[in-house]
């Protein structure tokens, strides 16, 4: 079956390439092809296609077609067609996701600022068996506002009203009803010195779909003003309300969301090289889950609501000179949420208080404080030192004594980076850093999870580009020591060491031919840590090798540019650990040092083509041979761990999986003034 699936995948990939217009040498376009593909004047058509293999048996594709066509001198049509599939050949049914979208907007200019049109919208999702659509007639008007100054020629107001029919099918029900809305937008320039307008937008939509109502209201305003050469301020106000209703057993669920938000920003230049920026935002969101019965005999679900307060402020100071650059940032965030119940089930006072107390266990307050500073020093034009420091604190408080999630999370980071440029296109980097993290539960019930984590980072690297040859090498070694606070939890202490290196080599044989070799190695060692004696015992190790190399050949002509890459990729992951081997005769199990090996390798092909007319094609194919097996040797003694039989240790799998990805972008036509 795996062989058959691999052959099917490869055939499917080839068919996609042919369907997407794989270039064929010596083939000229006929007059019929030109008539079919060339859009009418004043039109725009963009086709985007994506297809790829996601996993061993999973495929995904997306087709998106967007365009605009001028039907007459006064009529225009905008459209979008979208389909998304997620396919699993093991599933029954095979398609696990299948979504479609159609959106059409037709407009006609009536003159003197008036515009009429219609909108057709349709969505379908196979995963949750829903379909929705609408047809709306629309009427718009635009006019210039009275000039506030003699040079004001840009202040404008736009009005749009629409209405029609809506359709929605889900949960075995089909609902229809009227849908309508209104939108008003204004742009006003207060005075002749204004570079940004005062923008106001009011929007409201409503759809009555049988027993359900969908409603959305938006009110937004933005104003920015430059007071002088040193200071600029902006203010943003907004209100959003959204009402969405859906079916639940025996009831209609209404989710009502309301948010009031404001943001005030200020930028001030204290001097030529010193500036201060202040961003402050306040949001008051609330959400309610309300229920009403579909029938008298249906049981009513308890109404639930919460209110939230979000405060966010960020202050930034920047200073710069010829050799020094300094930045200091302070950020504070606070979020408060409180829950409440409605007595829609006619509960007694005592039962309502009990239910409310049960919900108020989830009440929470989160406070985040962050200090961040960065200092860059250039002692010489070719050398730079950067010192970065951060201090982060998160406090989580819950008023209820039954909620045990009260905790503090602290993090401190200090990092020093040196970058040097040398003669001969040689560049070196070196970064060292340290982190300290502390995780503390305030209440005793969760205090066993308290720990402190210490991390050290070492990151050297260099880049060398002598002519046609290029070599880039980077290394990253970080060590983590996680120590539990409680004496009885010391067996959970862990030491984690990770070494990652990347090597990138390339050689330019000619202007159109390039050879490259990339290698990535990652080693992760996890051990049991004895912190008082600073000793560790290895538990398991995972080593990954990723090697890819190839040659790339390019072609260019007056109409298109193409490139073909032929290469090979080898990926191996080895997991080292201890296990036990069960005896065939039922005797005593023995300790083994086990290696679980996974290898993926095969030829790697890539093709790319771009034309001057707006067509681009990118295709990649990795004929991957996947092999998994075990290797082990026997140790001394008995070890309590995962156990394997001799047959399981001798088991080996090998399959061919062609991984592919195809991307097509096709742009036809263009706007003509």
Q: Is 291 exposed, middle or buried (0-12, 13-18, 19+ CB in 10 A)?
A: buried
Euclidean distance between the first and the last CA atom of the chain, given in angstroms as a whole number: 58
Residue 125, pLDDT score? 93
Give a three-class secondary structure readout of 392-407.
EEEEEECCCCCCCCCE
29 CB neighbour count, 10 Å cutoff:
10
How far is residue 29 from each of residues 32, 116, 280, 670, measured CA to CA in Å?
8, 40, 59, 21
Q: How many CA atoms lie within 13 A of 595 on its CB side?
A: 12
Low-confidence residues of the chain: pLDDT under 50:
1-41, 671-673
Q: In angstroms, what is the C-alpha Rg of the chain?
A: 32
Beta bridge partners of 209: 212
Q: Which helix (H) or strand (E) holds 7?
A: helix 2-19
Residues in contact with 104: Cβ distance below 8 Å, sequence separation at least 6, in sequence order: 77, 78, 79, 119, 120, 121
The Cα angle at residue 224 between residues 203 and 194, in degrees rounded to 5: 110
Task: Give pLDDT, residue 145.
Answer: 82
Classify the C-alpha dihedral 644-648-653-659 as positive or negative: negative
Q: What is the largest CA-CA distance in the chain?
A: 101
Query: pLDDT, tens digit, for every residue of 463-510?
Result: 999 889 999 999 999 999 999 999 999 999 999 999 999 999 999 999
> Is residue 621 packed enough to be buried (19+ CB in 10 Å), middle (13-18) or exposed (0-12)?
buried
Contact 473, 461 (CB under 8 A): yes
Beta bridge partners of 58: 88
Degrees (nearest 5) of the Cα angle 63, 10, 84? 20
* Residues contacting residue 227 through CB under 8 Å, at least 6 positions apart: 233
∠ CA 287-289-294, rounded to 5°: 150
> Do 282 and 311 meet the contact criterion of CB atoms below 8 Å apart?
yes
Nearest to 242 by CA among 287, 180, 309, 308: 287
**How far is 206 from 226, CA to CA, in rounded Å?**
39
User: Token pair 């009440």 is at which residue?
Assistant: 363
Q: What is the pLDDT of residue 591?
A: 87
HEC secondary structure over 581-636: ECCCCCCCCEEEEEEEEEEEEEEEEEEEEEECCCEEEEEEEEEEEEEEEEEEEECC
Q: What is the distance between the alpha carbons of residues 452 and 625, in angstroms, rounded to a whole number?
A: 43
**ω into residue 317 within 30 of 0, thus cis?**
no
Please give the backbone phi and psi of residue 636, each rounded to the nearest 5 degrees, phi first: -105, 140
Give me the pLDDT at residue 672, please: 40
> In Å, how far from its chain's centre is CA 315?
27
Alpha carbon distance 518, 571 (integer Å): 12
What is the rounded distance in angstroms from the CA atom of residue 195 to the CA atom of residue 386? Answer: 37
The count of residues in the chain is 673
Answer yes or no: are the C-beta atoms of 189 and 154 closer than 8 Å: yes
Q: Which of 126, 184, 119, 132 is nearest to 156 (CA)?
A: 184
Residue 491 three-state SS: helix
Cα separation, 526 vs 258, in Å, equals 48
Q: What is the DSSP-derived secondary structure letter of residue 445?
A: G
Contact partners, residue 119, CB within 8 Å, separation at least 6: 103, 104, 105, 106, 134, 135, 136, 138, 162, 164
DSSP for residue 363 = -
**Number of DSSP helices (H) and strands (E) in the chain, helices first:** 4, 29
User: 139 has which bridge partners?
Assistant: 116, 161
């Amino acid at each position: 079956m795996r062989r058959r699936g691999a052959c099917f995948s490869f055939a499917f990939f080839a068919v996609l390439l042919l369907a997407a217009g794989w270039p064929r040498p010596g083939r000229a376009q006929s007059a019929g092809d030109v008539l079919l593909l060339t859009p009418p004047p004043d039109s725009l058509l963009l086709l985007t296609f994506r297809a790829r293999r996601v996993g061993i048996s999973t495929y995904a594709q997306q087709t998106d077609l967007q365009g605009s066509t001028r039907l007459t001198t006064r009529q225009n049509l905008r459209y979008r067609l979208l389909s998304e599939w997620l396919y699993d050949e093991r599933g029954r049914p095979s398609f696990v996701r299948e979504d479609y979208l159609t959106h059409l907007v037709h407009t006609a200019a009536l003159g003197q600022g008036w515009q009429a049109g219609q909108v057709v919208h349709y969505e379908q999702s196979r995963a949750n068996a829903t379909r929705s659509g609408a047809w709306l007639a629309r009427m718009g008007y635009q006019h210039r506002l009275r000039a506030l100054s003699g040079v004001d020629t840009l202040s404008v107001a736009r009005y749009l009203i629409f209405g029609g029919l809506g359709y929605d099918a889900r949960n075995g029900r089909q609902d229809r009803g009227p849908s309508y809305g209104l939108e008003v937008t204004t742009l006003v320039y207060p005075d002749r010195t204004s570079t940004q307008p005062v923008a106001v937008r009011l929007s409201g939509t409503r759809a009555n779909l049988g027993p359900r109502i969908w409603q959305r209201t938006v009110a937004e305003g933005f104003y920015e003003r430059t007071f002088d050469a040193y200071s600029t301020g902006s203010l943003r106000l907004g209100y959003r309300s959204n009402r969405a209703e859906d079916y639940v057993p025996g009831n209609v669920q209404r989710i009502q969301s309301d948010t009031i938000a404001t943001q005030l920003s200020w930028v001030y230049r204290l001097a030529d090289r010193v500036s201060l920026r202040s961003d402050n935002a306040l949001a008051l969101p609330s959400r309610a889950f309300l229920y009403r019965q579909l029938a008298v005999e249906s049981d009513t679900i308890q109404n639930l609501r919460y209110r939230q307060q979000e405060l966010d402020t960020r202050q930034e100071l920047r200073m710069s000179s010829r050799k020094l650059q300094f930045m200091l940032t302070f950020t504070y965030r606070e979020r408060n949420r409180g829950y409440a119940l409605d007595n829609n089930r006619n509960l007694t006072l005592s039962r309502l208080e009990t239910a409310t107390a049960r919900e108020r266990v989830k009440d929470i307050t989160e406070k985040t404080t962050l200090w961040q500073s960065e200092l860059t020093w250039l002692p010489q034009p070719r050398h730079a030192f950067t010192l970065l420091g951060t201090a982060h604190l998160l406090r989580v408080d819950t008023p209820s004594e039954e909620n045990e999630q009260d905790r503090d999370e602290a993090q401190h980071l200090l990092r020093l980076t040196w970058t040097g440029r040398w003669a001969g296109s040689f560049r070196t980097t070196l970064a060292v850093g340290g982190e300290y993290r502390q995780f503390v539960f305030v209440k005793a019930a969760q205090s066993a999870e308290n720990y402190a984590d210490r991390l050290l980072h070492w990151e050297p690297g260099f880049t060398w580009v002598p002519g046609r040859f290029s070599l880039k090498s980077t290394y990253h070694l970080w060590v983590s020591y996680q120590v539990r606070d409680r004496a009885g939890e010391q067996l959970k202490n862990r030491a984690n060491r990770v070494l990652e290196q990347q090597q990138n080599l390339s050689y330019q044989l000619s202007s159109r031919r390039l050879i490259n070799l990339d290698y990535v190695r990652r080693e992760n060692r996890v051990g049991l840590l004895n912190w008082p004696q600073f000793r560790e015992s290895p538990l398991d190790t995972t080593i990954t090798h990723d090697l890819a190399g190839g040659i790339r050949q390019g072609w260019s002509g007056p109409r298109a540019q193409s490139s073909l890459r032929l290469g090979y990729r080898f990926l191996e992951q080895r997991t080292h650990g201890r296990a036990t081997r069960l005896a065939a005769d039922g005797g005593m199990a023995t300790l083994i040092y086990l290696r679980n090996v996974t290898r993926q390798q095969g030829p790697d092909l890539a093709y790319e083509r771009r034309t001057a007319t707006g067509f681009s094609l990118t295709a990649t194919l990795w004929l991957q041979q996947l092999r998994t097996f075990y290797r082990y040797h026997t140790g001394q003694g008995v070890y309590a761990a995962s156990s394997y039989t001799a047959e399981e240790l001798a088991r080996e799998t090998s399959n061919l999986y062609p991984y592919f990805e195809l991307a097509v972008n096709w742009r036809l036509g263009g706007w003509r003034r």
